[in-house]
Amino acid sequence: MKKLVILLIILGVLLWGLGFFTRSLTSVPQFLQPSEKLKSEAPAELYPQEKIVIDVVKKVSPSVVTIAAESSMTQVDPFSFFGFEFEPEESSEEPQNIGSGFLVTEDGLVVTNKHVVNEPGVTYTVITNDQKKYTVRQIYRDPLNDIALIKINPADHVGTRLTPVALGDSDKLQVGQTAIAIGTPLGEFSNTVTTGVISGLGRGITAGSVYEGFIEQLDNVIQTDAAINPGNSGGPLLNSSGQVVGVNTAVSQNGQNIGFALPINTIKDSMNNFNATGQFNRPFLGVSYRMIDEELALQTALPEGAYIQTVVKDSSAEKAGVKEGDIITEIDGQKLVAGKKEISTIISQKKVGDKMKLKISTEDQEGERTLKEVEAVLQIAPEQ
C-alpha cells in the first residue's frame, strides 16, 4: 500500500511537470506580446519643419521642368559647367536630360541657366512634372549673366494649364534660413528635392571648365548646403514660403555640400528688361582694359586701376572723353582693385541709361599724368 502511494505521488509530479512544459511551449512571454497601447496609437504627426518642406514641394513641383537636348553631331555634355570631363560620344535618337528650369508665366516662359541651353546645333525639349513634352520655340540668352529664357507653347498639349512659380526677394535673404532645391540631378532623377540652409551671401565664384573653353565670373551669388548636383542647373532655390529666391547654378568641386545660386532679383531685372524690349539689354561702357595691380603699379610708377587699351567708336566711354592709355582709378567713388572690383564688376550692377562718374589718370601733352573726372551714360551693348 505504501509503495502504491509513493508511485501515485511520483506519477502526479510527472504529469504536472509535463503540463507546465506544454503550456510553456504554447504560450508567449508577456514581454514578447504586442502592446495594446502601441496597437492603438495614431500615426505620428509631422514636425512643423517637415510640413513646411512638404507643402513647398507640393506647391512648386508642377512648375519645375526638366530640359532635354538632342544633338545632331555629338552628345551634349550637360555637366561641363561643373568641371566634369566626358569623352564625346556619337549622338543617339533619344534626347538627353541635361538640366532644370521653372515656369514663370502661364504662356510658357521658362527660366534656366544659359550654360544649359548654350550648345549650337542642339534641339531642346521641356518636360513638365506630369511628363508632358514641349518643343522649345525660342531661346533668349542673357549676354551678361548665366541666365536664359526659353519659350514653349502651351498649345502643344491642349487643355493643359501651365503653373508659374512665385518669385521672392533675394535681397531679404539671411544666412541660416531654410533653403529648398528642386531639379533633375544627373539628368535622371526628375523633381528631386534637397534641403539645407542659406550658407552665405554675396559670394564671388569662377564657374565653368577651362578644358571646355568656358569660364564665367559670377558675382553676388548665394551659397547653400542644399545638395546641388549636375543636372540641377537652372532649377529653383526656394524659401519656406515656396517663393523662388535663386537659380541653382554651380557646385564646388573642392568641397562637400557647397552649392551656388544666382539671386532671383538679378533674374527679375533681366526679365523686366526682356519684357520691355523683347531682348536682353545690358549696359555697355565700350572699353577693353588691363588691370594694374599693386605690384605692377610699384614697378611702373603708374596708379592702380584699369589701363584702357581700346575705346569703341561712338561708345559711352568715347563720348565721355575716355582715351586709350587712360587709367580709370575709381568709378562712383569706388576704387578699382584687380581681381576684386573691376569695371565689369561695377557695370554688372548697373542698367542701361545709368550715369557713372569716372576718375581718370590721363597723360597731358608733356607726358605728365593728371587726374580728371568725367561722366559716362551707359548705352545698350551691341549684339554679339
Which phi-psi region, left, alpha or beta, contains residue 195 (left: φ > 0; alpha: ψ -120 to 50)? Answer: beta
- pLDDT of 267 reads 84
Q: Is this structure's pTM higher than 0.95?
A: no
Of 71, 100, 115, 270, the active-site residue reads 115
Residue 365 pLDDT more than 60? Answer: yes
Cell 584699369 appears where? 306
**Residue 258 one-letter amino acid:** I
> Which amino acid is present at 201?
L
Q: What is the sign of the dihedral through the CA atoms of 99, 102, 106 and 109?
A: negative
- Average pLDDT over every residue of 87-92: 48
Task: Give the separation between CA 118 and CA 81, rounded to whole angstroms.
Answer: 11
What residues pair up with 106 in beta bridges, in sequence order?
none
Reported as a single tens digit per residue, the pLDDT across 116-156 is 888 878 889 999 998 999 999 888 887 667 888 999 999 99
Burial of 90 (0-12, 13-18, 19+ CB in 10 A): exposed
More confident residue, 374 or 255: 374
pLDDT value, residue 346: 85
157: annotated active-site residue: no
Region for residue 186 given its phi and psi (left: phi exceeds 0; alpha: psi -120 to 50; beta: otherwise): left
- Contact call for residues 289 and 328 (beta carbons, < 8 A): yes
Cell readout for 192 is 528631386
Q: How much is the average pLDDT of 245-253? A: 82
Cell of 105: 508665366
| Model pLDDT, residue 318 | 93
- Going by the DSSP 8-state scheme, the letter that residue 296 receives in this structure is H
Domains of the chain: 57-156 (2.40.10.10), 166-277 (2.40.10.10), 283-380 (2.30.42.10)
The catalytically annotated residue of 80, 91, 100, 146 is 146
Q: Which residue among the candidates 170, 233, 270, 361 is catalytic per the annotation?
A: 233
Catalytic residue check, 115: yes
For 118, 184, 194, the CA distances from 235, given in Å and listed in that order, are 16, 8, 12
- Give the Å distances, CA to CA, from 4 to 9, 10, 217: 9, 10, 106
Please give the Cα distance from 33 to 87 (Å, whole number): 61
Task: Report pLDDT digits (tens) over 306-336.
Answer: 999 999 889 999 999 999 999 999 999 999 9
The predicted-structure confidence for 163-203, as pLDDT tens digits, reads as follows 999 999 998 999 999 999 999 888 778 888 999 999 988 88
Asked if residues 253 and 82 have their Cβ atoms less than 8 Å apart, the reply is: yes
pLDDT of 84 over the 50 cut: no
Pick the more confident residue, 257 or 331: 331
- Structure confidence by residue, pLDDT tens digits, 65-80: 999 988 654 444 444 4
